[in-house]
């Protein structure tokens, strides 16, 4: 790699001493070096132009699925959960599978926005806004399932402790992982929403100053809270963002750990495992990156944002997918090993049944998608081929949905006593509500890319403009410079 001379703080400090300062060129995450004005124009353009045909077609399909969801959930409320394929053996099936699937999808957003911020990974700047939006919509979809799978969904608020307690002195059982889950998911949704909104305020101010229509101006003025770009505010704002990232980092790890405890604290073979929390977190990040790839591959080309979401970004995301995919594969192996080595009859039978029983096809589909597919990403060619990555990302999503199905339904359908065994077959309502949740997710996402800036303009400007090389190379102290004397 060639080296170029970069002036430090506007002047080369070593120049006076007659030494030429040289350092590696900063990694570039945006193509063609756009000016600050270009960045604003490029990212604001989709919000100001009329949506294209492609957007309308996607929105039409997504909205139809959302209407279907509304209809089916209404029918569900009227009739009860007997319209699903649940029975005495399998009391949790598509509903909880979908719940875990959607919560998992959300994890990539927080990973990108919080963990990668703490690690000072600049490539996050192009994708963090849309990944965070994806998190919020995915957690919304997830939160819907536990509520609608209750026998009396209108009493769903009973899961929260509240004042005044109208249930006499009876409180929720704080020892139950299901209650932990309620707290984890609602905290996660709230903090993600706040983090997402906070990150958007400067961009909303940019849009406010560009807006021509009265309604637009009013809406953006309301949302941008009078932001005027003051550096004193910027200084506080950056620290608060870091603090929130610091809070969100353990939060994101806790959420799927707690979700996994819904299963791990039970005694059911296939659920009762100590490996579940890290295994679920890795799986969540894996599936989340799968979904981010799917969404960004589509939006970068339909919204003409290839300049900001480059092949290098896709390459990075593919690498994270590959790594977490391998952690997931390792967890699969460990489960089988423990079942054999542990010597528990029921545990052993469960894993034999998983690989050879009536649902074996689900298991092999899961292995194909989650173990074999990520291995293809070792090749750089594969990681930079948009079409190939798109197929991989869809496979990841399918694989991770089936992983949860295998964990939940296959464990339940043949537990201890053979007299309690049974089969689960989904009904039209199981499938319809799953499809409908995708409708809800994509409707929200498509509205988001039309109404709000899907790339963080101010962060891109910071990366492209002054200070980018310093952020990449030095630590907290801005005065510190990592320089190689030649």
Partner 1 sequence: MPSSFLVATFTDAEKLLHAVRAVRQENLRIYDVYAPYPIHGLDAAMGVRRTRLPWVTFLVGCCALAFAVTFQFYTTVLDWPLNVGGKPDNSTLAFVPICFELTVLLSGLATVAALFLRARLYPGKKESLFAEGVTNDTFALVLRKREAPFDLHRARKLLQESGADRIREREMEQ
- Quick one: which H or E segment has residue 485? strand 484-485
Phi first, then psi, for residue 11 (nearest 5°) are -145, 150
Instruction: Report the alpha-carbon distance of residue 299 to residue 318 in Å, rounded.
Output: 17
Q: How far is the CB of 435 from partner 1 (least distance, A)?
A: 32
Shorter beta-carbon distance to partner 1: residue 137 or 195:
195
Q: How far is the CB of 459 from partner 1 (least distance, A)?
A: 7
Instruction: Report the alpha-carbon distance of residue 205 to residue 224 in Å, rounded.
Output: 5
Shorter beta-carbon distance to partner 1: residue 235 or 304:
235
What Rg do the C-alpha atoms of the chain give, in angstroms? 25
- Asked whether 114 and 135 are in contact (CB, 8 A), the reply is no
Q: How far is the CB of 195 from partner 1 (least distance, A)?
A: 8
Cα dihedral value 102, 104, 109, 112, nearest 10 = -170
Shorter beta-carbon distance to partner 1: residue 206 or 373:
206
Q: How far is the CB of 256 from partner 1 (least distance, A)?
A: 12
Q: How far is the CB of 1 from partner 1 (least distance, A)?
A: 24
Where are the alpha helices (H) located in 303-451, listed in sequence order? 311-342, 345-356, 360-367, 373-375, 380-383, 386-405, 411-413, 428-451
Shorter beta-carbon distance to partner 1: residue 19 or 239:
239
Instruction: Report the alpha-carbon distance of residue 76 to residue 83 in Å, rounded.
Output: 7
Instruction: Report the alpha-carbon distance of residue 223 to residue 393 in Å, rounded.
Output: 34
Query: What 3-state class would DSSP assign to 4?
Result: strand
Query: What 3-state class would DSSP assign to 23?
Result: strand
Q: How far is the CB of 40 from partner 1 (least distance, A)?
A: 5
**DSSP-derived pairing of the beta strands 484-485 and 21-22:** antiparallel
Instruction: Report the alpha-carbon distance of residue 334 to residue 30 in Å, rounded.
Output: 41
Shorter beta-carbon distance to partner 1: residue 102 or 220:
220
Shorter beta-carbon distance to partner 1: residue 257 or 299:
257
Q: How many residues does the chain have?
A: 486
Phi first, then psi, for residue 485 (nearest 5°) are -80, 135
Q: How far is the CB of 73 from partner 1 (least distance, A)?
A: 28
Shorter beta-carbon distance to partner 1: residue 79 or 466:
466
Q: How far is the CB of 74 from partner 1 (least distance, A)?
A: 32
Instruction: Report the alpha-carbon distance of residue 477 to residue 471 in Å, rounded.
Output: 10
Neighbours of 279 (CB within 10 A): 24
Q: How far is the CB of 236 from partner 1 (least distance, A)?
A: 4
Shorter beta-carbon distance to partner 1: residue 187 or 384:
187
Q: How far is the CB of 484 from partner 1 (least distance, A)?
A: 20
Where are the alpha helices (H) located in 53-162, listed in sequence order? 53-79, 94-110, 116-118, 128-148
Q: Using N-to-C axis directions, what is the helix angle for 128-148 and 94-110, rounded to 10°? A: 160
Shorter beta-carbon distance to partner 1: residue 90 or 457:
457
Q: 11 has which bridge partners? A: 8
Shorter beta-carbon distance to partner 1: residue 7 or 74:
7
């Amino acid at each position: 790699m060639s080296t170029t001379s970069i002036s430090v703080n506007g002047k080369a400090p070593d120049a006076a001493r007659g030494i030429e300062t040289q350092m590696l060129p900063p990694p570039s995450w945006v193509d063609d070096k756009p000016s600050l004005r270009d960045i604003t124009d490029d990212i604001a353009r989709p919000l100001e132009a009329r949506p294209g045909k492609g957007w309308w077609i996607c929105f039409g399909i997504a909205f139809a699925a959302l209407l279907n969801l509304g209809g089916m959930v209404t029918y569900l409320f009227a009739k009860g959960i007997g319209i699903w394929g649940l029975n005495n053996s399998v009391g949790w099936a598509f509903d909880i599978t979908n719940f875990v699937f959607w919560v998992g999808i959300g994890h990539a957003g927080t990973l990108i926005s919080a963990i990668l911020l703490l690690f000072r990974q600049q490539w996050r700047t192009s994708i963090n806004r849309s990944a965070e939006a994806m998190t919020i919509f995915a957690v919304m979809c997830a939160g819907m399932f536990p509520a609608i799978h209750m026998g009396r969904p209108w009493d769903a608020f009973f899961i929260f402790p509240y004042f005044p307690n109208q249930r006499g002195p009876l409180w929720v059982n704080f020892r139950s992982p299901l209650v932990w889950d309620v707290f984890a998911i609602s905290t996660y949704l709230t903090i993600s929403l706040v983090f997402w909104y906070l990150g958007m305020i400067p961009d909303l101010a940019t849009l406010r100053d560009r807006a021509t229509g009265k309604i637009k101006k009013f809406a953006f003025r309301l949302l941008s809270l009078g932001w005027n770009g003051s550096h004193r505010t910027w200084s506080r704002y950056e620290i608060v963002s870091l603090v929130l990232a610091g809070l969100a980092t353990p939060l994101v790890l806790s959420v799927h750990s707690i979700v996994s405890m819904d299963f791990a604290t039970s005694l059911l073979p296939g659920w009762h495992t100590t490996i579940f929390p890290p295994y679920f977190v890795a799986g969540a990040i894996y599936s989340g990156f799968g979904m981010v790839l799917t969404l960004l591959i589509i939006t970068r080309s339909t919204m003409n944002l290839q300049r900001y979401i480059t092949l290098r970004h896709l390459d990075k995301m593919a690498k994270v997918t590959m790594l977490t995919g391998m952690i997931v594969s390792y967890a699969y192996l460990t489960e089988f090993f423990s079942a054999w080595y542990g010597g528990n009859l029921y545990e052993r039978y469960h894993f034999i049944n998983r690989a050879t029983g009536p649902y074996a096809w689900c298991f092999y589909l899961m292995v194909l998608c989650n173990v074999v597919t990520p291995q293809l990403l070792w090749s750089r060619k594969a990681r930079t081929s948009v079409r190939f990555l798109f197929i991989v990302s869809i496979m990841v999503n399918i694989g991770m949905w089936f992983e949860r199905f295998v964990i939940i339904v296959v464990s339940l359908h043949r537990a201890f006593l053979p007299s309690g065994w049974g089969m689960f077959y989904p009904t039209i309502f199981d499938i319809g509500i799953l499809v409908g949740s995708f409708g809800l997710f994509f409707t929200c996402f498509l509205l988001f890319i039309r109404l709000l800036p899907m790339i963080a303009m101010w962060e891109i400007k910071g990366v492209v403009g002054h200070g980018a090389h310093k952020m990449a190379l030095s630590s907290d102290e801005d005065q510190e410079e990592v320089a190689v004397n030649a």
